[in-house]
Structure 1
Amino acid sequence: MKFTSPDPTFYPSARLAMEGPREELAYVVALAADGGGPSGIPDGLAVVDLDPTSAGYGTIVHWLSAPTAGDELHHFGWNACSSALCPYAPHPHLERRYLIIPGIRSSRIYVIDTKADPRRPEIVKRIEPEQLIRRTGYTRPHTVHCGPDGIYISALGDGKGDGPGGIFLLDHYSFEPLGRWEIDRGPQFFAYDFWWHINQDILISSEWGVPWMLEDGVLPEQLMKGAYGRALHVWDIRKRRHLQKLDLGEDQQMVLEVRPAHDPRKTYGFTGVVLSLKDLSSSVWLWHRDGDRWAIQKVIEIPAEPAPEEELPPLLKSFRAVPPLLTDLDLSLDDRFLYLSCWGTGELLQYDVTDPFHPKRVSGLRLGGIRRSAAHPSSPEKPLNGGCQMVEVSRDGKRVYLTNSLYRAWDEQFYPAGIRGWMALAHAEEEGLRWDEKFFVEFPATHRPHQIRLQGGDCSTDSFCFP
């Protein structure tokens, strides 16, 4: 009888994952700057060298182009991760081998094999939008999470590009769409991100908007009347039914990334709000178990920065301020540090959340930004556009990687001069954050980088079932 060992990048606990080997490669999706329009240029997947002992450190060592233009590759994830070791639905024979990459505009999904040569991944399967709609009734796939019983993917729209959005599953082995996940969705209509407290059988999902509210940029009339998402939803994973809606209030617009604590004994997590209609601030909210119910409260507020009208893009001129635009956040595996990326001001903020109800700011850096265009120390004379956007933290918590593009139509509104893509690295040290002066990846002018996945896993990939 032949026995096989679990994938060595699967870890029973977050503590063991932190002790694993350092990542040597990053996989970064990059969208075509013109959306594949007149140029016909497709999106791509960049492989970036993260090994500081390598001659190629901080460079793109391979580029995989999508076979068609217009996908808008956005968020993506692994086919399998440490959740495969969970005892109620174990799949220890799976491998962290395939990247599942959806096109948020085309509704096409690519399956990318990284095993034969991790530096030169290959497309091995395509799921066309017609099949996705037929099997699930959803379009605009967004967030990918590797669960113990399948690959979970959120979708922003229904088959007609309206709502409700929701979650569907892919089979672990064939990657075929199995169908929509929800049995009873209750009041949930908008979708965006999701993750879970897997040992408590609880899933948390967030809200952005339906495709017509997003694909051509922010719609000012929708924003000013508070029409974008403003709530979290609590679900029973096993029964696949809605349990509770956590409404953050009518001023809070666009409740995006959700980051639950990694320790499976903890029943709390953080979500970020892009914009307050009251004062243009961004904020972080803590959800937590409160008896037999769930509660939510604001724990961090980031104010807007006053600015003269002539220094602002048309969308913001009348406000005379730069909103932080908190568009991503990430929580270190030891649940100690929360990292916030403020795409509007260009800030990367580090908070100590050892006491999650009372976060303490530790340090902060700037890169790019609507008004400041802060330079990187490798080229202090060169102003940068875009701002700190997607953030990914290494398993050991010592390195924080960033890219600067959000979503093509939104890029044009907030950075009308156009975004030149870049990727940077900040080191998290005892005294706080510092930029790595030797690591600054400039992407070709034709492409803008978005989400990052680290070889062997990262802080927004894995779920752990053991404390």
Structure 2
Amino acid sequence: MSETSGAPGTMDPTFYRTPAEAIGAPTEQLAYVVAFDRAAERHDALTVVDVDEASDTYGRVVGWADLPTTGDELHHFGWNACSSALKHEGHDMGDDGLQRRFLLLPGLRSSRIHVYDTRPDPRAPHLHKTIEPEELAAKAGYSRPHTLHCGPDGVFLTCLGSGNGNGDGPGGIALLDHTTFDVLRAWETDRGDQYLAYDAWWHLNQNTLISSEWGTPSMIEDGLVPDLLLGGKYGHRLHFWDLATGRNLQTVDLGVENQMVLELRPSHDPEATWGFVGVVVSTADLSASVWRWHRDGGEWAVDKVITIPAEPADAADLPPALQPFGAVPPLVTDIDLSVDDRMLYVSCWGTGELKQFDVSDPAHPREVGSVHLGGIVRRTAHPAAPGEPLAGGPQMVEVSRDGRRIFVTNSLYGAWDDQFFPAGVGSWMAKLDTDPAAGGLRIDERFFPHGDDWRGLRPHQVRLQGGDASSDSYCYR
């Protein structure tokens, strides 16, 4: 890899050589949020929310782009390029230079990918290209695209299923061209016994990619399957790969009871060799957990550093899936690490809590903040609408580059929403403020797009204008 600079004078100013430069950059003014129709009757949408605190439309949805298709179920999405592009080749954006400009929106149910252009008006993104599921299956052998990151050799797109159309695996990573977004190939050259897929991230300077596991499409699309959960069939391993060659070098099993090893958050410090991964539930006691991976000599080691216990509850207050257990599992469905690698945020979707941990010592996290919103039993209201009990809970979480603002949305995945919140999960987004050094969480009472603001759709992931804590990797200190 070598440093590249695009056309002279046209390098996007939102590419930052170091985490410190990103932290000191101008504050984002817009958030892009994907929202989906559970019934698959209306069009999913890429929406734009005003997050400029000095704006007259602060906290409101100010842009809306309907997809041309239905039934996509937008889930995770990402930028065509990020700060890591300063070190890897292959981008060619012509006279405009290399820019963080296009948003790629995978449809988790349709296997279709829509590419939206945020220029010239960032409040009015427009469709640039559509990648059909047939291309993804034919060229990469995959379906059900989930998460993407810009990296060396192209855009890395993790997929839950194979391209054979039977709802099974193996899942893995498709590689897309940086510029045209054409599907190039499957990234893996030797997967070993890796079969389940979910997230993928990397330590660029260590030539290491890490991948995690959820389940195949047939295991997730109709909700959590109790027999599979209790049988230890969902993902419980991490895989470590040679980033340059696509070879699986090492697999670490977290234990069959630790089901659904999901979000990966590597350290932003390009010379560090550690990161965190969240585990949704333990079949031993319904707890959730966060684990740290790190170098141990020439191998990678993984150890549990946070355990969050289940909370006892009256069976009458629980959905049918949880009534036999008499407890609410935290259900850690997302985590996010601040750009300075100091604060880790953990979404406990089941109990309706967002936890904040000081991870200055990654081996010994220390809880420094917590807020409640929603929850299976609590239904904690937002202070802006104290008379409206909330369903769902903090689910997807995104942190601003300077670590001062945290955004959460409440929907997990359509079938799972319905299973854990059978009376309806609702639609809402919230913002919290914090001191990035000392911690502590405060709900912003001015910011609460909810209900009709989302036109009946469910908001899911957030991307911040100019980058955020979970979409950039850095190559320099």
Paired residue for 2:228?
A: 222
Paired residue for 2:348?
A: 342
Select 1:427's aligned residue among 425, 428, 433.
Answer: 433
Equivalent runs, 1:148-227 vs 2, <5 Å: 148-159=152-163, 160=165, 161-227=167-233
CA distance in 2, matches of 1:445, 1:75: 20
Shift of 1:91: 7.0
Shift of 1:187: 1.1
Paired residue for 1:43?
A: 44
Select 1:103's aligned residue among 71, 82, 107.
Answer: 107
Paired residue for 1:414?
A: 420
Shift of 1:195: 0.2
Aligned 8 A contact 1:14 1:262 in 2: yes
Shift of 1:5: 3.3
Shift of 1:148: 3.6
Letter in 2 for 1:441: P
Aligned 8 A contact 2:23 2:403 in 1: yes
Which runs of 5 or more residues in structure 2 are unaligned? 1-6
Q: Comparing 309-318 with 4-13, which one deviates more in the overlay?
A: 4-13
CA distance in 1, matches of 2:229, 2:43: 31
Note if 1:85 corresponds to 2:86.
yes
Select 1:438's aligned residue among 437, 441, 446.
Answer: 446
Paired residue for 1:358?
A: 364
CA distance in 1, matches of 2:141, 2:271: 35
Paired residue for 2:16?
A: 11
**Could you give the per-residue CA deviations for residues 247-303 of structure 1, whole angstroms, max 9, x where no partner exists?**
000110000000000001100000000000000000000000000000000000000
Paired residue for 2:4?
A: none
Q: What secondary structure, in the 3-state scheme, does the structure 2 residue paired with 1:131 have?
A: helix
Shift of 1:89: 6.8
Paired residue for 2:305?
A: 299
Q: What secondary structure, in the 3-state scheme, does the structure 2 residue paired with 1:438 have?
A: coil
Q: How many residues align?
A: 462
Q: What secondary structure, in the 3-state scheme, does the structure 1 residue paired with 2:462 have?
A: strand
Distance 1:268 1:125, change over 3 A: same
**Could you give the per-residue CA deviations for residues 304-325 of structure 1, whole angstroms, max 9, x where no partner exists?**
0000100000000000000000
Paired residue for 2:148?
A: 144
Q: What secondary structure, in the 3-state scheme, does the structure 2 residue paired with 1:411 have?
A: helix
Select 1:123's aligned residue among 121, 127, 132.
Answer: 127
Note if 1:288 corresponds to 2:294.
yes
**Could you give the per-residue CA deviations for residues 419-445 of structure 1, whole angstroms, max 9, x where no partner exists?**
111000000124511000100011435
CA distance in 2, matches of 1:243, 1:64: 42
Aligned 8 A contact 2:212 2:264 in 1: yes
Note if 1:457 corresponds to 2:458.
no
CA distance in 1, matches of 2:392, 2:299: 40
Shift of 1:386: 0.5
CA RMSD, Structure 1 to Structure 2 (Å): 1.2
Letter in 2 for 1:178: L
CA distance in 1, matches of 2:72, 2:152: 28
Note if 1:30 corresponds to 2:31.
no
Aligned 8 A contact 1:33 1:446 in 2: no
CA distance in 1, matches of 2:120, 2:458: 27
Letter in 2 for 1:465: C
Letter in 2 for 1:310: A
Equivalent runs, 1:63-78 vs 2, <5 Å: 63-78=64-79
CA distance in 2, matches of 1:444, 1:462: 27
Note if 1:52 corresponds to 2:77.
no
Please, what TM-score do these two structures have when normalized by structure 2?
A: 0.95
CA distance in 2, matches of 1:67, 1:412: 25
CA distance in 2, matches of 1:455, 1:90: 20
Q: What secondary structure, in the 3-state scheme, does the structure 2 residue paired with 1:285 have?
A: strand
CA distance in 1, matches of 2:333, 2:318: 19
Shift of 1:172: 1.0
Aligned 8 A contact 2:315 2:324 in 1: yes
Q: What secondary structure, in the 3-state scheme, does the structure 2 residue paired with 1:441 have?
A: coil
Shift of 1:446: 1.7
Letter in 1 for 2:443: W
CA distance in 2, matches of 1:186, 1:3: 43
CA distance in 1, matches of 2:388, 2:455: 16
Which runs of 5 or more residues in structure 1 are unaligned? none
Aligned 8 A contact 2:335 2:347 in 1: yes
Letter in 2 for 1:43: D
CA distance in 2, matches of 1:425, 1:253: 29
Q: What secondary structure, in the 3-state scheme, does the structure 2 residue paired with 1:340 have?
A: strand
